[in-house]
A and B are shown apart, each in its own frame.
Chain A
Amino acid sequence: MVFEMLLEIDNLSKSFGGVQAVRDVSLSVDSNQIASIIGPNGAGKTTIFNLVSGIYPADAGEILFMGTNIVGKSQHEIARLGVSRTFQNIRLFKGLTVLENAMTALDAGSDYSVFSAMLTLPNRRRTDKANMLRALEALEIVGLTRYQDEQPSNLPYGLQRRVELARAIVSEPKLLMLDEPAAGLNPSELAAFISLIAELKQRFHFGILVIEHRMQVVNELSEHIYVLNFGNLLTHGKPEEVCNNREVIEAYIGEDDNGAKDQEPLCQL
């Protein structure tokens, strides 16, 4: 099938009760491209992620993933098409080790039966072995090999983020959605994280959609930035275009000149 973009969102809308969380938003991400969504709190950024991953259905609009409309498909179907994500508040599985957490993303694709599982038949052993090696590889990429048998809750916050990242990339998705991946990271972790994401893109060539508040991440990584405000798409473009846009500065800092002096500059290019 011929398609223009990896992910293309057309005139997407969603409201919760009387609140219009997302209104007529269109955006697109191509393979081997990093795009960012920025905007103040409550702008509807995470709602877009939740709509793409099928957590709730869109009210109107289309979400085309590799040319097919995925609106109305269930969460696991969308995940199996090759859309994977991380969560704003880390959502790792308690009771599974770091390695097992990473393996869960591959388990949905394994096809041995429950009888084969109970009897440990050869096809189960083969599949699990192969998946374990893939999961170990993903852990190595994010630098967590020596924590493979730990419970994720025993790890510091920054490493837990990496576990989530490993779990998201292990199935080699086509689209990776990162919801505030740098939140809570200290400056040195942040620098390491930015180079890790860049390295992942080099390696897997997937499209990456990032929600982020920290402009350092956005500016260093993204090729295209979408700015949301109150559910509307304010503007979009290359980082340097967006940073100098008056509307964007107003949305972030407010119109008041006195207030603006206390704020950090939006971009440090």
Chain B
Amino acid sequence: MSAAYLNYMFSFLINNVFILMIGMLGVYVLTGLTGMFSMGQAAFMAVGGYTAAMLSKYLNMPLLVTVPAAVFMGALFGLLIGIPAVKLRRDYVAIVSLGFGEALVAFLNNSASITGGALGLTAIPKYTTKPMIVAVLVLIIVFVWNLKKSRFGRQCIAIKSDELAAASMGINVARVKLLVFTLAGAISALGGSLYVHTTRYLDSAAFGWDQSSMWIVIVFFGGVNSLTGSIFAGIILGLIPEILRFSNEMRIVIYCIVVLFIVNFRPQGLFGETELDAKTIKRAARSLAGFFRTSPVAHANGAS
């Protein structure tokens, strides 16, 4: 493995995988935490992407304007889609979000005069740097982590588990769902704005249902409740196709086999319900220490 190859993979990890992971965190909040399937979450990334791209390209706005504007637009669209969606049963939410996503992509394709249509927008100002992307990703992970551990996280998981019981705990189910839709839209749009300022190129085909369903695969692969699981899965599944690039079509086959393996043998996902946090690591270290203390190898080495 040459240094150039490692260098390339490192760039790919940050510029591509990490940015898409920010979009994925929107799916984590919506699907992983609250149990609502969003089959059109990539459309929110498109909302953020086009907002940032057009503001910077046509109006020469700086990063500090384009990114907040993208987040705002994502939240607004999330709210607008959420209002009809929260009244529906969760399987219909998937249909509504899928419809929204595909409709938006079609709209962007057909408004060629401002969005560039299927040709896309080019020469978008590059505003991002690698450290900036990493910092934003870490920040969003911390935010989502805190959210999960707060009353909102508990309410989301309660709603996912049993809506009726959640309501009888005094939880305003519709309101929490609406909040989650808004937040997920904002997070995915943030990813979209970083995406365009990094690749400098944008076309609507990148935000179809295939990207959305990829995120759902990642969240389930990692373990539905587990944020650290989703992050881990996001990195692994983001890198596999690139690592296997030499084998052309085979890479998709291998990718599918990996996913099917998990779905078959660990239906709760890689991490299941557990988070890789200090508590879990401490417990694992303790049991590992116990294992070494009793193992004959440790005694032979003269360990106390």
Contacts and interface: CB of A to CB of B under 8 A. Distances in A.
B287 to A, nearest CB: 16
B161 interface: yes
A51 B143 CA distance: 39
B78 to A, nearest CB: 13
A174 interface: no
Interface string B155-177: 10110111011111111110000
Task: List the 9 closest pairs (A to B, CB-CB), nearest first.
Answer: A108-B170, A117-B150, A107-B151, A79-B170, A75-B167, A91-B165, A118-B143, A93-B161, A94-B161
B225 interface: yes
Contact of B146 (A84, A105, A117): A117
Nearest to A109: B170
B273 A107 contact: no
B146 A93 contact: no
14 contacts: A74-B167, A75-B167, A76-B171, A92-B162, A93-B162, A94-B161, A95-B157, A107-B155, A112-B150, A112-B151, A117-B147, A117-B150, A118-B147, A128-B151
B204 to A, nearest CB: 30
B154 interface: yes
Contacts of A92: 161-162, 165
Contact of A117 (B152, B157, B168): B152
A95 B171 contact: no
B90 to A, nearest CB: 15
B155 to A, nearest CB: 6
Contacts of B170: 76, 79-80, 105, 108-109, 171
B183 interface: yes
B89 to A, nearest CB: 16
A104 interface: yes
A19 interface: no
Interface string A91-120: 111111000100111011110101001111
Nearest to B183: A114
Q: Chain B binding site: helix, strand, loop or mixed by DSSP?
A: helix
Nearest to A53: B168
Contacts of B157: 93, 95-96, 100
B214 interface: no
Nearest to B160: A95
Contacts of A131: 151
Interface of B: 143-144, 146-147, 150-155, 157-158, 160-162, 164-173, 179, 183, 224-225, 273
Given A93-B158, A93-B161, A103-B154, A108 B146 contact: no
Interface of A: 53, 55, 74-76, 79-80, 84-85, 87, 91-96, 100, 103-105, 107-110, 112, 114, 117-120, 124, 127-128, 131, 151, 167, 171
A103 B169 CA distance: 10
Nearest to A91: B165
Contacts, number: 100
A108 B171 contact: yes
Nearest to A164: B165
Contacts of A112: 150-151
Contacts of A110: 151
Given A95-B273, A171-B170, 20 more contacts: A75-B164, A75-B167, A75-B168, A76-B168, A79-B167, A91-B165, A92-B161, A95-B224, A96-B157, A100-B154, A103-B154, A105-B170, A107-B155, A109-B170, A114-B152, A118-B147, A119-B143, A124-B150, A128-B151, A131-B151
A242 to B, nearest CB: 29
Contacts of B152: 114, 117
Contacts of A108: 155, 169-172
Contacts of B161: 92-96
Given A114-B183, A117-B151, A118-B146, A91 B162 contact: yes
Given A104-B158, A114-B183, A93 B151 contact: no
Nearest to A124: B150
B179 A114 contact: yes
Contacts of B225: 95
Contacts of A128: 150-151
Nearest to A121: B146
* Most chain A Cβ neighbours within 10 Å, of B144, B157, B225: B157
A85 B167 CA distance: 11
Contacts of A93: 157-158, 161-162, 165-166
